[in-house]
Amino acid sequence: MAEAHQAVAFQFTVTPDGVDFRLSREALKHIYLSGINSWKKRLIRIKNGILRGVYPGSPTSWLVVIMATVGSSYCKVDISMGLVSYIQKCLPEGCGPYRTPQTRALLSMAIFSTGVWMMGIFFFRQTLKLLLSYHGWMFEMHGQTSHFTKVWAICVRLLSSRRPMLYSFQTSLPKLPVPSVPATIQRYLESVRPLMDDEEYYRMETLAKEFQDKTAPRLQKYLVLKSWWATNYVSDWWEEYVYLRSRAPLMVNSNYYVMEFVLIKNTNIQAARLGNIVHAMIMYRRKLDREEIKPVMALGIVPMCSYQMERMFNTTRIPGKESDLLQHLSDSRHVAVYHKGRFFKVWLYKGSQLLKPCDLEMQFQRILDDPSPPQPGEEKLAALTAGGRVEWAQARQAFFSSGKNKAALDAIERAAFFVALDEESHHYDPEDEASLSLYGKALLHGNCYNRWFDKSFTVIAFKNGQLGLNTEHAWADAPIIGHLWEFVLGTETFHLGYTDTGHCLGKPNPMLAAPQRLQWDIPEQCRAVIESSYQVAMALADDVELYCFQFLPFGKGLIKKCRTSPDAFVQIALQLAHFRDRGKFCLTYEASMTRMFREGRTETVRSCTSESTAFVQAMVEGSHMKADLQDLFRKASKKHQNMYRLAMTGAGIDRHLFCLYLVSKYLGVSSPFLAEVLSEPWRLSTSQIAQFQIRMFDPDKYPNHLGAGGGFGPVADDGYGVSYMIAGENTIFFHISSKFSSSETNAQRFGNHIRQALLDIADLFQVPKADS
């Protein structure tokens, strides 16, 4: 076979005359081009490292400083105040490059200029870091910006005016501050007050007071010490203990899903969609490697931390018996593909050239047309990544540590990402509400063995061309994958395009080697473990109730007429809906980001507040005047917005208590207060989905180019998981999960309560609504 012959650089046979080597010129050409490509990447990384290291300086500014110094010297003006002469005296005399006085003078001026230039860079960076440590702008009312904040904004713009690369601001971002223990304790007690009666609250207050006076000071000292030493005092522990040390299945419990555009369709051809999407993803990866992606900026001027993007591609979670490991490679030139129980390896490059979308479409179509059956044990192999982590770690060590199984597993784990070619079709039909929920369920867990849940993300292509993602959570949070997804969908739709028949543009190269089928030798014992993991995963998947819907009466545009933030509006509506659903309040988790700090990830906003519960109770009683209800709502909204801002600016509650708890464990110190706080269940876990992080197109001009967001499984067995995307001005998408095994929860019932709560709050402000 020609493909097999070109797959190796040389072959040899033993003859009576010795060993006969036969070289493959084509394969050697590929190896040569691959090496050239690798060296190009290294040089680009070196160049970017230099440019990033001197930001906001530049080689041009360095030359300007040198020219100014030399020019002043010729004008008989010593701007160095004698330093150039001192440097010249320190240079060695005699032979070599320092022989003439002119050379020695120029060299000393260059050394002085470089020092001045580097000091200027250091000064600018420290000034920018100091400016970025100011967060007062977040607490000012819209339209009431203070003069101080206006001057601050001008200074930040001036210091960051030169076009930055992706990681240019990393060293200028401030560190996440460690809150004071009394402030954290006070905010914690405020958050649990509406959830406890007087006796329970007094008991918790006593525990908190005892912790604050006796145990906390010692723990806080260690935490402050860590904050001085580490880049971020939370993120490494959060990744390790919340994600990597969890022994529960990733599927449903940790991984989340992302939907694509649901109101438009580019093509129904499965392979063509993947051809453009995979090509766009590698284009994004190339921009990522070259740091050509602009940093995300709040208000267009405050940079967000970009470190989470580093492990987007070429990353796999490796199972361990006690803790998993995130394996990240600097490069990968292939993707792993699953179709009808078989695994394939698809090369993304021919030599140093990225394959065109039409070539990738041809490769995926070859897989779809391949009639070969799965090998014994191959079909459900990926169920190992859906079951318990200990079982997967043991099986990996026992059956995949050598031979062809190791080679095949390496091909998957070392892939840029994973691709699943599904045999079923899914899409959102506005006339069939259940279609969105079925689409979400397929993305969340599939059939439990057609996703590789350990990969940083899996691209899922359904038979009708609809797409989605299943994303592992340890390496990054949802806005990061959302940034990629916005770029990919925008590039596919507005730059790559399709022919009139729905295929990728261009003519494919039929001489490309076919996708490589991965080979396995899976013994009976391993098949038993696979089946066991599959049963665990199936029980978990079957227990998940997912209800997704599009709320059409209104969106962000009309919520703003209530003079509140859209997020606060939805969060208060969720409190009202939950009380109507369960007849009580519960500890509520809303994810907020801390990316204004270096290596920041998330913080918790405790959305169930005394103000929101007062409003909900007044609404349920039904005897209050509308003006009173409006006042209660505004108080609840103001409280929520303030808590969200505190969380974003490093003054949250839960990450601080989480780190204090870990320090107590390291020191062997017992704390009843921390033990109780960390064991409290989040029966309502919520998250808003970011959108329009990249302006790939004008949403006003293309109002139907809307993604539906994504979702996740319930955090508590008797609780709800709710994600929502305020999609533009006129609609909101909701994704609600619960467990069938709980008699207290029902995702669809809760969704109906959310609908009604949104309408009832809008009625308070007489917001006109479209027909439902």
In the numeric block, the tokens 């913080």 are attached to: 603
Same domain for 147 and 124?
yes
In the numeric block, the tokens 């030139």 are attached to: 333
Average pLDDT over every residue of 330-359: 95
Alpha-carbon span 597 to 305, nearest angstrom: 6
pLDDT at 24: 57
Q: Taking 90 as the threshold, does the pLDDT of residue 37 lie above it?
A: no
Total domains present in the chain: 4
Boundary residue ending a domain (124, 159, 194):
159
**Percent of the chain beyond pLDDT 70?**
92
Same domain for 252 and 224?
no
Same domain for 659 and 632?
no
Q: Taking 60 as the threshold, does the pLDDT of residue 767 lie above it?
A: no
Other beta carbons within 10 Å of 693: 17
Is residue 688 within 8 Å of residue 723, measured between CB atoms? yes
Average pLDDT over every residue of 320-345: 96
Residue 34 belongs to a domain: no
What is the DSSP secondary structure assignment for residue 684, as one 8-state letter? E
**Percent of the chain beyond pLDDT 90?**
74
Could you tell me the residue range of the domain that residue 183 belongs to?
Answer: 178-236+650-679
Which pLDDT band, with edges at 50, 70 and 90, does 65 fall under? confident
Same domain for 470 and 539?
yes
Residue 42 belongs to a domain: no
Q: Taking 50 as the threshold, does the pLDDT of residue 586 lie above it?
A: yes
What is the DSSP secondary structure assignment for residue 293, as one 8-state letter? S
Average pLDDT over every residue of 562-579: 94
Average pLDDT over every residue of 432-460: 97
Same domain for 356 and 467?
yes
pLDDT at 60: 80
Same domain for 600 and 687?
yes
Is residue 596 within 8 Å of residue 615, measured between CB atoms? no
Minimum mean pLDDT among 5-14, 436-445, 625-634, 640-649: which range? Answer: 5-14
pLDDT at 1: 36
Minimum mean pLDDT among 42-56, 131-145, 314-328, 714-728: which range? Answer: 42-56
What is the DSSP secondary structure assignment for residue 311, as one 8-state letter? G
Q: Taking 70 as the threshold, does the pLDDT of residue 52 lie above it?
A: no
Where is 471: in which H helix or E strand? strand 467-471
Alpha-carbon span 1 to 514, nearest angstrom: 11
Average pLDDT over every residue of 476-488: 95
Is residue 457 within 8 Å of residue 270, measured between CB atoms? no
Minimum mean pLDDT among 213-227, 634-648, 682-696: which range? Answer: 682-696
Average pLDDT over every residue of 311-319: 97
More confident residue, 135 or 142: 135
Residue 43 belongs to a domain: no
Beta bridge partners of 604: 591
Residue 428 belongs to a domain: yes
Q: Taking 50 as the threshold, does the pLDDT of residue 125 lie above it?
A: yes
Which pLDDT band, with edges at 50, 70 and 90, does 19 fall under? very low
Residue 41 belongs to a domain: no
Residue 199 CB contacts under 8 Å (≥ 6 apart), including other chains: none
Same domain for 537 and 471?
yes
Which pLDDT band, with edges at 50, 70 and 90, does 21 fall under? very low
Boundary residue ending a domain (660, 679, 698):
679
Minimum mean pLDDT among 159-168, 289-298, 334-343, 745-754: which range? Answer: 159-168
Alpha-carbon span 117 to 64, nearest angstrom: 10
What is the DSSP secondary structure assignment for residue 707, as one 8-state letter? B
What is the DSSP secondary structure assignment for residue 106, as one 8-state letter? H
Alpha-carbon span 439 to 426, nearest angstrom: 5
Minimum mean pLDDT among 28-42, 330-344, 515-529: which range? Answer: 28-42
Same domain for 431 and 573?
no
Same domain for 283 and 420?
yes
Going by C-alpha positions, the residue among 130, 235, 216 that lies closest to residue 603 is 235
Q: What angle do CA 671, 674, 678 make, to 5 degrees?
A: 140
Active-site annotation holds for 495: no
Residue 196 CB contacts under 8 Å (≥ 6 apart), including other chains: 204
pLDDT at 141: 82
pLDDT at 59: 78
Q: Mean pLDDT, the chain, as a whole number?
A: 90
Boundary residue ending a domain (159, 187, 222):
159
Residue type, 546: L
Minimum mean pLDDT among 8-17, 182-191, 533-542, 618-627: which range? Answer: 8-17
Alpha-carbon span 8 to 610, nearest angstrom: 69
Residue 13 belongs to a domain: no
Alpha-carbon span 699 to 705, nearest angstrom: 7
Q: Taking 50 as the threshold, does the pLDDT of residue 741 lie above it?
A: yes
Same domain for 188 and 125?
no
More confident residue, 734 or 116: 734
Q: Which CATH number does the domain housing residue 589 bear?
A: 3.30.559.10
Average pLDDT over every residue of 246-260: 96
Residue type, 77: V
Q: Taking 50 as the threshold, does the pLDDT of residue 180 lie above it?
A: yes
Q: Which CATH number does the domain housing residue 207 bear?
A: 1.10.275.20
Same domain for 312 and 432?
yes
Residue 78 belongs to a domain: yes
Is residue 553 within 8 Å of residue 754, measured between CB atoms? no
Same domain for 643 and 664?
no
CA 337 to chain centre: 22
Annotated active-site residue in 279, 339, 445, 473: 473
pLDDT at 701: 87
Alpha-carbon span 45 to 60, nearest angstrom: 20
Residue 33 belongs to a domain: no
More confident residue, 113 or 665: 665
Q: What is the pLDDT of residues 100-110, one digit of tens each?
A: 777 777 888 88
Which pLDDT band, with edges at 50, 70 and 90, does 29 fall under? low
3-state DSSP of 351-417: CCEECCHHHHHHHHHHHHHCCCCCCCCCCCHHHHHCCCHHHHHHHHHHHCCCHHHHHHHHHHHCCCC
Average pLDDT over every residue of 188-209: 96
More confident residue, 529 or 48: 529
Q: What is the pLDDT of residues 382-410, one digit of tens each?
A: 999 999 999 999 999 999 999 999 999 99
